[in-house]
Structure 1
Amino acid sequence: MDSNEFFAPARTPSDDTAAPADDAALVSSSDAVDGEVNSAGSVAKPLKAERTPVWIDLLNPSDDEIHEIEKRFDIEVPTREEMQEIELSSRLYDEDGALFMTVSVLNKANSDEPETTAITFILVKKTLITLRYADPVPFKTFIRRVNRSPSLASSAEAVLFGLLEQIVDRLADIMEQAAADLEGLSNIVFANPDDPAHDQDHRAVLRRIGRAGNLSGKAKDSLLNLHRLGLFLSTQTRLKKDAKTRLKTISRDIVSITEHANFIANKVTFLLDATLGMINLEQNNIIKIFSVAAAAFLPPTLIASIYGMNFEVMPELDWQFGYPLAIGLMVLSAVLPLWYFKRKGWL
């Protein structure tokens, strides 16, 4: 397991045996099996066997640590390969009262290679176990929030919904950033060609559009997983009324962000088509220039070819004004087509 450390919330002040919030412990992820957040909200290494952990966060766990969790809670933790399966029955299921929920969470959204990583939430009795092989931003942010406000981790359900809300908030921020980036791209694509900021080859624009499309696609995949998880949790009778109310709020946010993600996906398609159309127009303009040049210089070439023939009987060859006449004809035959094309608006 990676040696990352995280802050665990202290006991709530209402607990008679509560420790002060300043005594919140720093628990390394290598001690995540032993480090516990008790049901009252405090985190420390277990001092008493009867203390119930609220949240156990497994980041890159070893086989021995997974085995210890399985033995301690009498469950079978899914393997990393099983977490990657796309079947709904393999991602969301109830096994002897323990809820197993695997979702794809967007990770490295600000990098050039965003990815989705599978994270498993296991809700067993009064404990939430999170199994992950990446450290996305929502987990880091939620851990910092819990350290400042220990009441956010008053129960396993509170931690679960807090993490889900943080993931949804992160996706909303990513969609807002993607929308702003696409707005800037739209101004570039439809900018005046005479504008110095206009990108003539559009390669950078295409790369940015492709990145926005890739990001929105992965965000939609994550939102779809969260929506399925919400539907699964809504059928659980163990959740209290306030928990279900909180779940409904999360579900509404997911639907709203999904609609925004669909809008972004449509705009990505529109900008991609528009950019490719601009490229085609520029290519057509280049071909048109070559076509006009060929048409303009064809008559002068014809005249030059005629007087370049080696016939003995060509009166103009002995004429004093033959050469100036040939030059004049070639210039005139080149200017007349250009004047005609200009009049027709083809230039």
Structure 2
Amino acid sequence: MDTNEFFAPVRANTDSGNAASPAASDSAVGDSGQATEAANTSSEQSGAKPAAAKAERLPVWVDLHAPTPDEIHEIEERFGIEIPTREEMQEIELSSRLYDEDGALFMTVSVLTKATTDAPQTTAVTFILVKKTLITVRYADPVPFKTFIRRVKRSPSLANSAEAVLFGLLEQIVDRLADLMEQTATDLESLSNQVFISPDEKSSDADHRETLRQIGRTGNLSGKAKDSLLNLHRLGLFLSTQARLKKDAKARLKILSRDIVSITEHANFIANKVTFLLDATLGMISLEQNNIIKIFSVAAAAFLPPTLIASIYGMNFEFMPELGWEFGYPVAIGLMVLSAVLPLLYFKRKGWL
């Protein structure tokens, strides 16, 4: 549970010409209690009206990380909305993920998390745009949220409005996906060299087990990234139909949509390359298996005549002239060796060995 409220920076008082105090500016990021206390201090120092007016400031962003039922109930009562449950956030229907309810926009997308581990996952994150506040509901802590929160703490101006926070988060998510796709493309180049390396090289993966594991992980990551990009693309189309967005917000949305399309194309390229490398690896394994089977087949064919000779002279019939012959045994051994060497020489001349 980690619930935070972020307030827009306190702007200068245009009527009196006096700028807000540093204490008020520092309250741009933090919980509501800290912001109220800083605002009260600013009012006393400047001789302005009582702090009650400052306490009524609505946050531009309420971040609900693994919220408790009491916290959800408090936010619902405070903003007059009904927050989707965790089960409802997992729904895949478009009508359950993107909808307008009494002027509040509900948008649920899948965000990639644990991307650097062997088991990348996607988690559902709900964005609720109600009046002048953005509410995010999440049950994981993806890297884009950590990064954006750090940026807001350093530069509170990034949280001037709910729309600015919304597009800032979406841009951070897209940037993270772009970085992951770039790293994945680099990893695939290394895998490609590993698949087609000469078997005589010391670094070659003889049984290709590690190569197959890496290809599987890369394919899993690219698939989950494409799922997240698809959700973001749908969210962009949904936002493009909203008349409440201002001109600058629509401009950011247009740029964001282009980025999503370009990254999706790159993800499709990666998926195709993963398929190619998987087929190539399986083909290399088949070739190695065929070579092994060929060796066994050649060996069986080469040692078939000696086996036939040995089986004949092992019958010990009474009327076998060679049994009483002084040179019978060495002649039989010589025939078996000769019948084995001649086929091997023939196979080698044909290039089968």
Q: TM-score, normalised by structure 1?
A: 0.91
What secondary structure is seen at the aligned counterpart in 1 of 2:112?
strand
Whichever residue aligns with residue 18 of structure 1, its letter is A
CA RMSD of aligned residues (A): 2.2
Matched, 1:202 2:205: no
**Structure-1 separation of matches of 2:78 and 2:34:** 13
Question: CA distance change for structure 1 residues 67 and 125 in 2, over 3 Å: closer, same or farther?
Answer: same
Matched, 1:11 2:18: no
**1:181-218 CA-partner distances (Å, limit 9, x unpaired):** 11111001000011111111111111100000000000
Cα contact 1:13–1:20 (8 A) shared by 2: no
Q: Could you list the runs of 5+ residues in structure 1 that have no partner in the other structure?
A: none
User: How many residues were matched structurally?
Assistant: 335
In structure 2, what is the equivalent of residue 129 of structure 1?
Answer: 135
Q: 2:97 aligns with which of 80, 84, 91?
A: 91
What secondary structure is seen at the aligned counterpart in 2 of 1:122?
strand
Question: CA distance change for structure 1 residues 257 and 19 in 2, over 3 Å: closer, same or farther?
Answer: farther
What secondary structure is seen at the aligned counterpart in 2 of 1:105?
strand
Q: 2:224 aligns with which of 199, 206, 218?
A: 218
Matched, 1:20 2:22: yes
Whichever residue aligns with residue 67 of structure 2, its letter is P
Q: 2:165 aligns with which of 159, 166, 174?
A: 159
In structure 2, what is the equivalent of residue 315 of structure 1?
Answer: 321
**Structure-1 separation of matches of 2:256 and 2:7:** 23
Q: 2:269 aligns with which of 243, 260, 263?
A: 263
In structure 1, what is the equivalent of residue 350 of structure 2?
Answer: 344
Matched, 1:189 2:192: no
Whichever residue aligns with residue 226 of structure 1, its letter is L
Q: 1:148 aligns with which of 130, 154, 159?
A: 154
Q: 1:300 aligns with which of 296, 299, 306?
A: 306
Cα contact 2:129–2:135 (8 A) shared by 1: yes
Identity of aligned residues (%): 79
Cα contact 2:8–2:156 (8 A) shared by 1: yes
**1:32-53 CA-partner distances (Å, limit 9, x unpaired):** x76779xx9xxxx997443121
In structure 2, what is the equivalent of residue 288 of structure 1?
Answer: 294
Spell out the pairing of 1:96-111 with structure 2 (5 A cutoff).
Answer: 96-111=102-117
Cα contact 1:7–1:143 (8 A) shared by 2: no
In structure 1, what is the equivalent of residue 341 of structure 2?
Answer: 335
Question: CA distance change for structure 1 residues 72 and 155 in 2, over 3 Å: closer, same or farther?
Answer: same
Cα contact 1:11–1:18 (8 A) shared by 2: no
**Structure-2 separation of matches of 1:47 and 1:63:** 30
Question: CA distance change for structure 1 residues 271 and 71 in 2, over 3 Å: closer, same or farther?
Answer: same
**Structure-2 separation of matches of 1:117 and 1:10:** 28
Cα contact 1:11–1:19 (8 A) shared by 2: no
**Structure-1 separation of matches of 2:278 and 2:139:** 34
In structure 2, what is the equivalent of residue 273 of structure 1?
Answer: 279
**1:246-287 CA-partner distances (Å, limit 9, x unpaired):** 000000000000000000000111111111111111111111
Q: Could you list the runs of 5+ residues in structure 2 that have no partner in the other structure?
A: 40-50
User: CA offset at residue 19 of structure 1?
Assistant: 4.0
**Structure-1 separation of matches of 2:53 and 2:147:** 28
**Structure-1 separation of matches of 2:52 and 2:209:** 57
**1:94-149 CA-partner distances (Å, limit 9, x unpaired):** 11111000000000000111100000000001100001111100000001111111
**1:277-308 CA-partner distances (Å, limit 9, x unpaired):** 11111111111111111111110011111111
Bigger share in helix: 2
